[in-house]
Amino acid sequence: MSADAPNASPASPRLVTHTEIGAIDNTTGYRSFTAGSFTFSRDEYFARITWPKGAHTMPVDAFLRALMRDVAWGFFYGTVNFDDVVGTVNHYGEVTLFAGRYNDAYHDAGRDHEERFPSEVLMPLFKGILSDWTNEGFDPFASPMETDAPWGSKNGTNERAITRTRVSAKRMVGLPGDTPLRTDENGFPANRMFPDIDQSKPIIEPEPGFEGEVWAYNLFDYLSRSDVTWNPSVCSVVGESLFCPTTEEFSLPVDHGNDRCEWFITLSDEIDWEIKDKVSAKPRATVLTRAGDVSCMPADIRHKGFAKKRAMLLVWENGSPIIPELIARGEAPTVAVTW
């Protein structure tokens, strides 16, 4: 099966539009997938990616966890590095698929490769890979202790896990007509890591006529009921200011390369952060954040987090679409504050 669309205008980078889904492999039961000149295939243990200048192998669990975030986040802000070699860059309507582009060794040796796709062309292919390669019992959104293993030949599917809808509130979680609160009744029990969370509800007493304007909810209770890890969801919106809380356990499955500053408030427990240069992947810092710590990730880095106990994290995003362009032109800083 293939999908083709018109190329971009001469002023834009040439858009690649060819995708293809291969036949079922007689040995493993999995299909292969093609996006432009990239191919994706898997066996019992590994995902294998090839391109005209090279090939790369990833453990299939790591690949599926990374791909799951790329799909769920809609390619997210900036760069989603599946590891030190393969990933995507979001251009908001278009997306670059790359291998070795942000790795000095590949880049210096001329082995890197990238192609730019319309987002609506690449996204269905990525969803197809997730659907075909995710076996029954494996949940790429879950921590390792909450899911079965992905290994072996083709064995069923887990569509429920990979088609979760990411929370994206219009104003605030729980407001009438907005995304609902999580409760036992609607299928969101408290996670095993949060047995001691206060589940009480705030008392709200709006003046008559302001019932739809004044709202509050117990964020700690809400987060304790998250059934996914490393998946920031939009829970409140004020203009372009987005509060995106999440729970973190094990490791962030991607290295996220920022295209804007990103504020982190650690709400509980602790998270280790590994910070690298966004382009070269050279190490820049390690940071340990504990409950109450506030930090800001600059726009010129990539970061990966590690949490030994499920931690609550508030991610504060400026969702303005013009920020990446301003930073690229040098008209906006890559850091949020200077002294």
**Which pLDDT value is given to residue 154?**
98
Q: Are residues 185 and 270 in the same domain?
A: yes
7 pLDDT tier (thresholds 50, 70, 90): very low
**pLDDT tens, position by position, 49-64:** 999 999 999 999 999 9
Do the domain assignments include residue 116?
A: yes
12 pLDDT tier (thresholds 50, 70, 90): low
13 pLDDT tier (thresholds 50, 70, 90): confident
Q: Are residues 41 and 126 in the same domain?
A: yes
Judged against a pLDDT cut of 90, whether residue 165 lies above it is answered with no
CATH number of the domain that 76 lies in?
2.30.31
Q: How many other C-beta atoms lie within 10 A of the C-beta of residue 207?
A: 8
Do the domain assignments include residue 8?
A: no
Query: What percent of the chain clears pLDDT 90, i.e. is strictly above it?
Result: 93
Among 105, 130, 161, identify where a domain stops: 161
How many Cα atoms occupy the beta-carbon half-sphere of 7 within 13 Å?
9
Total domains in the fold of the chain = 2
339 pLDDT tier (thresholds 50, 70, 90): confident
Judged against a pLDDT cut of 70, whether residue 4 lies above it is answered with no
323 and 330 Cβ atoms separated by less than 8 Å: no
Do the domain assignments include residue 218?
A: yes
Do the domain assignments include residue 279?
A: yes
pTM equals: 0.94
Do the domain assignments include residue 56?
A: yes
Q: Are residues 189 and 297 in the same domain?
A: yes
Q: Are residues 265 and 319 in the same domain?
A: yes
Do the domain assignments include residue 3?
A: no
Q: Widest CA span of the chain, in angstroms?
A: 68
Among 111, 134, 161, identify where a domain stops: 161
Q: Are residues 273 and 174 in the same domain?
A: yes
- Describe the crossing of helices 119-133 and 60-72 by its angle, rounded to 10 degrees: 140
Three-state DSSP class for residue 65:
helix
135 and 154 Cβ atoms separated by less than 8 Å: yes
**pLDDT tens, position by position, 188-222:** 999 999 999 999 999 999 999 998 889 999 999 99
Q: Are residues 256 and 118 in the same domain?
A: no
Judged against a pLDDT cut of 60, whether residue 186 lies above it is answered with yes
How many Cα atoms occupy the beta-carbon half-sphere of 140 within 13 Å?
32
Judged against a pLDDT cut of 50, whether residue 82 lies above it is answered with yes
d(CA 266, CA 291): 5
Instruction: For residue 255, list its beta bridge partners.
Output: 81
Minimum mean pLDDT range among 3-7, 67-71, 82-86, 165-169: 3-7
Judged against a pLDDT cut of 80, whether residue 108 lies above it is answered with yes
Do the domain assignments include residue 335?
A: no
**Structure tokens of 102?**
């942000």
Q: Are residues 305 and 183 in the same domain?
A: yes
Mean of all residue pLDDT scores within the chain: 94
Among 136, 161, 186, identify where a domain stops: 161
Q: Are residues 119 and 248 in the same domain?
A: no
Question: The domain containing residue 84 runs over which residues?
Answer: 19-148+156-161
Q: How many other C-beta atoms lie within 10 A of the C-beta of residue 85?
A: 23
Q: Are residues 192 and 323 in the same domain?
A: yes
Do the domain assignments include residue 269?
A: yes
Q: Are residues 171 and 134 in the same domain?
A: no
**Structure tokens of 80?**
């989603």
Look at residues 102, 105, 154 and name the one whose alpha carbon lies nearest to residue 258. 102
Judged against a pLDDT cut of 70, whether residue 6 lies above it is answered with no
Q: What is the mean pLDDT of residues 250-270?
A: 97
Q: Are residues 111 and 203 in the same domain?
A: no
User: What does each C-alpha distance from 178 to 181, 202, 325 come to in angstroms?
Assistant: 9, 18, 31
Q: What is the mean pLDDT of residues 225-229?
A: 97
**Which pLDDT value is given to residue 219?**
97
334 and 262 Cβ atoms separated by less than 8 Å: no
Q: Are residues 218 and 142 in the same domain?
A: no
* Pairing label, strands 79-81, 86-90: antiparallel
